[in-house]
Amino acid sequence: MFGHGSRDPLWRLPMEQVATRVRTQHPGVPVRCAFLELEQPDLGTAAADLVLAGAREIVIVPMFLGAGRHAREDLPELVRQLQALRPDIRFTLQKPVGEDGRVLDLLAKIALE
């Protein structure tokens, strides 16, 4: 799971809670959170940790509501750099979660409550 990062330590809690839910629902799937800036670990460190844990495929889930510059430009470049460093690992970059219709439907439902 990849997020922007913040100086506020509470900012990362929802993303950590999603990671915890994934771990609970799928105990065999290793999950790490990574951040673009202001927090650790960065994407390279999280990926290295997953590789040390035995991962041969890493799926990167951008935890952004929209596809701003970070999701459109910065993150794909980071993934290209990782792929160049580790050609033996398959990196897959998903769309930002906010572009998934299920997320949008849930947000609309919450807004209407």
Q: What is the mean pLDDT of each run of 10 residues along the chain (113 residues)?
A: 94 96 96 95 97 96 88 92 97 95 96 96
Q: Tokens 């849930």 label which residue?
A: 106
Q: Which domain holds residue 95?
A: 2-112
**Residue 67's pLDDT is what?**
78
The amino acid sitting at 21 is R
**Residue 70's pLDDT is what?**
79
**Residue 69's pLDDT is what?**
83
Q: How many CA atoms lie within 13 A of 55 on its CB side?
A: 22
β-bridge mates for residue 58, sequence order: 91
Q: What is the pTM assigned to this prediction? A: 0.91
**Residue 30's pLDDT is what?**
96
CATH code (residue 43): 3.40.50.1400
3-class SS of residue 5: coil
**What total number of domains does the chain contain?**
1
Instruction: List the structure tokens of 55.
Output: 């991962």
Q: How many angstroms separate the CA atoms of 20 and 23, rounded? A: 5
